[in-house]
Structure 1
Amino acid sequence: MSSPAEAEAETSEGPSGGREGNWGEVLRAFLILGVTSFGGPVAHIGYFREAFVVRRRWLSERAYADLVALCQFLPGPASSQIGVAIGLARAGMKGAFAAWAAFTLPSALLMVLFAYGTGWIGAAAGTGWLRGVKVVAVAVVAQAVLTMARSLCPDRTRAGFAVAAAALTLLLPGWGAQIGVIAGGGVLGLLLLRGKGTGTDEVEPDGGSQLAGSLRPRQAAGALIAFFSLLALLPALAAAAGGSQTLSALAGFYRAGALVFGGGHVVLPLLDAVVVAPGRISSDAFLAGYGAAQAVPGPLFSFAAYLGTLLAPGAAGLASAALCLGALYLPSFLVLFGTLPFWQRLRQRRQAQAALSGINAAVVGLLLAALYDPVWVAGVHNRADAALVFVCLLLLEGWRLPSWAVVGVGALAGTGLAMAGL
């Protein structure tokens, strides 16, 4: 797959013995991708391969395949983690930050503008377009459930895990039950799924040799300690501060980023528990932003910038957006940095593969439950809405239209339905 805007003819010497890059070239390369990479994480992985394996030759095919496998194994947004790892291998920590900023901030800024503009746009155009965007979110999540179920629940055992996880999540709402479902999936995977793989593509075992020297084991261990320490300390700090809204939000966004297995869409129920369940953001505003996130390039996690903007009024929304975006991303990068030097040994262990198989099946169930509540419950209110869901799902799954185009169709259709009184 070729990137839609790879017009810049920037190449370097091959991956074995080529010159080391600098953070400026990393920034330029990822900025092109950050403003043109529509289509979600699977498409992003294809764009990255074309840009950095085929054209620039920053990595070998084998190293890239191994990196993709690692980022599918870890919690967090796979495409963003792949980009950060490429930047790290090319230009150290400065390159890692440049890759993340250039790929993420364009879509994050668009989401901040959307959050600020929701009020006056809604006043000018009525609520029909927002209604359509929420309906598109239903179709997008339904497509994600279908796609993930095909890949991650290929047999009766894992399909059973997914259904049980969905039922438990619906019967026991809240982030505590979500953590329990994910942990339970890992335990059941260890007991029942050894030898059944992870649901990801197999790659050659030495493909990560190019990345193994990017971090020292001591630095990796420090990153893992920080990952688990923040996961435990942030909720405690929020409680000690008397339920501080800011610390509670940071703890919630960090926890969500630490538990996103199986794809960016899984962040939906986790963030719903952080901002909608406590009443900080309405369900309508939440789903409108989630739908809008499908129409911008770059990673789905930029949705956090939208939520952060809504959590704080006025100019304070910018700082809140930055904090929420950083809190959501930080755990995925800490666990990436903590795992890179040990990846080959870890992924060859059958116990780790079995646990991941169970976790992946459980998160399919988590997303299936989210498809009903909050997505369907908040987005579909009558038969006209349901009909529009089916049309949008056909456009996504049958006609293979890009998400941003379907968002436009949904917004126009929602406006038309509102004008017609349907």
Structure 2
Amino acid sequence: MLISPKSAPALFEDLTQNCTLPLIPEELEGTSFLRRHGHIVIGDTALRGYKHKARWTYDDRDVSRAGRALAELHVAFTDLTDLTDLTDLTEVQLPEYGDHSGQEPWDQPDWRRQLRSWTYDAAFHKTFRERRDSEDWHATWRDIGDNGLPGGLTMTEFLDARSEMPHMDNIAGTKPRGLLSRSGGQWLLPRVYAELLDRWEQLEEDLINRARICSGCGAQGPRGAWRAPTANGYITLCPTCSGATYQAYQGHLRGVLYEAVRRSTRADDFLCRLCGESRAFTWDHCHDHGYIRGPLCASCNTFEGKGVRFLDRPGSVLHLLECRSCQDQQTLPRRFHTAVIRDHLEATERHGRCRNRPHIRELEHTHGVHWLELTCHGRHWTKDVSPAEAADLVRGFVTRVLGDLG
């Protein structure tokens, strides 16, 4: 029987109520992760996602299989209130900072690297909070102490760090932080748990590699790059097969309002207007004026929606100017104004004779006025940018972009 991601955690919890591992049943609700390879891996069990009419489901037999496998995995504790008092431990070698740089893709399944990255993340935020006004605060947060943790972290601080962010304490649907212990200069984990994570790591890698295969020609592509959503799940198509299957968008809906076509014209008949490689997923439109800008794949649409460094991407500004009103007014959607202002201040603002670019963050945006804080080597100052000044900066930015195109 197929069950919804909302129903799956209850079945999973019922099967694992006596499991000695700390689990995260809510992992089953994270259907966005199905993009990677169409499965959610809990422990060492892969649960395939099934999609029909834009709704995801799981086979309840897969959920039961995952739950029973974890319930049968016995991690022996002499005292459940002290997770460091374990009877069967194995040494865990955690990599040093930057060991994997340039060697492995960012999404490479590697639970040891993940654990180490959490220690550095906690150390960075601790040092930033406590010494942000010091000019050399960034010089010490990577230093490993006698307890094996960087930045002067205590074990308690590491266990409590980022508790409000579940993905920062989740590997294979389990919580490994509380199972990690230190003795004799070595990191230790329950042996059966470390073996489980090794199996999870291999299974994830196998699924990722299978998802790299183009369903049209069988070519193997970059990790995740050719994945595209459809009404029935994700497919993998290389740019050549996508180009042969879907048509390039020629701007025939330029000047048309989104509400007039969103239900009558399918975006997924086209290639993505930005990357030109993947099947489009949705009609991107200007939320300020309502005009269609073009069809985008899920990846490009997410990138545009977040807005972070989007203007640095080649072709991004021209895509935004597909909105007729933005083009006529030589402007950009309001949510991109802060990025233009920030780039301008980074290029022009300095404290004294310092040549370094300051770090800038927006403090407030009310009644069209942007209030920003600038920081450089422990010095802080603020700037306010009026609506008229913001409009001039954006207009100048758009003019320069268009001018560069000749």
Higher alpha-carbon Rg: 2
The TM-score normalised by the length of structure 2 is 0.23
The TM-score normalised by the length of structure 1 is 0.22
User: If each structure's helix is expressed as a fraction of its own residues, which one has the higher value?
Assistant: 1
Higher relative contact order (CA 8 A, sep 6+): 1
User: If each structure's strand is expressed as a fraction of its own residues, which one has the higher value?
Assistant: 2
